[in-house]
Amino acid sequence: MRAHLREYFARRLDPYAGAVVEISRRLTGAAALAGGIISLGLLPAAPPTVPIGDPGWLLAALCVAGTLMGAVMTLRSRSTADWNALAAIQWFGLGSLAVLVWLTGGNESPHATLFLLWIVVSAACHPPRRAGVYLIAAAFVTVAPLSYDGAPLAGAGEAAAQLLVWIVMAAVANLWVVSVRSDRLQRILSEQHASTLARIDPLTGLGNRRAFDEAAASLISRTRGSGSSPLSVVVADLDDFKQINDRYGHLVGDRCLREVANTIRLAMRGSELIYRWGGDEFAILLEGSNHSAASAVCERLTEAITTACSTPDGAAIRVACGCAQLSDGMDTDDLVAGADLALMARKHERPASTPRPSAVTRLTRAETG
């Protein structure tokens, strides 16, 4: 039991994680509107003149007006009230209600039952620590009339029983809200994890084709918006990778792909825009790099992979790279196709290597054929 209580009241990095502030805005606004209207309706039956006479009307008017103003702040369609603003409105509601109870007779005031409204609303909006502080303050103002009504012990038992019921109701509301928010947070985290996995190549840990397409579209849009920063793409294709699979097996082929991916990571240290574009093809988005800079990246990658990666018999793994720079009218497919054409041209320049159609070329042939 003690462990559960410690967990319940434990400090959290984000105590409102999983909460939807818009729901709490509406709840707080509804409480302020209802509380303000009810208090206004009770004033003729319970005039706020008991302790200070006619000036009590002005004080009561300020309390009701402030409460209704809180309703306006939270219920308007473009409300930006955050958690602190909601807490301030709830504290004002509690304080103004305590003043109205004092003005209208203390224990005999019909306004006293409205304390429950604010107690439950606060418990349903805030995490346990914040709701607990509010509940302590609410308990104090609830029993405060016993001290200024002239008979401190009169009605003490009834007040204590009523307060206990209210505390239980607030605790139930807070427990339910904490549970709902925890479930919502777990669902959000699960969805985010699934979304991340859907964009990660499980073999190399790099982004996959889907992640590349999304990042490229975003960067193209941003590049066109800025109008000045260039954008280039590098496509790298392993030479004769099918022969590695056929000769040594797919497990060795997978190991080679991981080695190449790690080598590219090291060569492009600081960049997160590296992707496994296809089976043995990799793509790198170079934000802020023109064609000349992208060509230099191609040379660096070719040298790094040839030096660091090899087959089981010690033969260097060769790679061909091509690059293209974004120009007017290009979309993602055009940009990659331009880099792919450069890659094929680079392969044709190698007499010892037979050029193989890359993924883009194969896809284009399939669509046109």
List residues with catalytic annotation: 280
The structure tokens listed for 334 are 């055009």
- Compute CA distances 327 → 131, 341, 346, whole Å: 57, 15, 21
CB-based contact 31:93 (threshold 8 Å): yes
Pairing of strands 319-325, 231-238: antiparallel
The structure tokens listed for 181 are 């928010």
CA distance 226 to 5: 53
Give me the residue label for tokens 């504290």.
91
Strand partners, 310: 316
Closest CA to 281 of 343, 327, 225, 335: 343
Mark out the alpha helices in the chain (DSSP H runs): 2-8, 21-42, 55-75, 83-103, 115-125, 128-143, 145-148, 156-197, 209-226, 241-248, 250-267, 291-308, 332-348, 359-368
CA distance 28 to 86: 7
Displacement of CA 281 from its chain's centroid (Å): 33
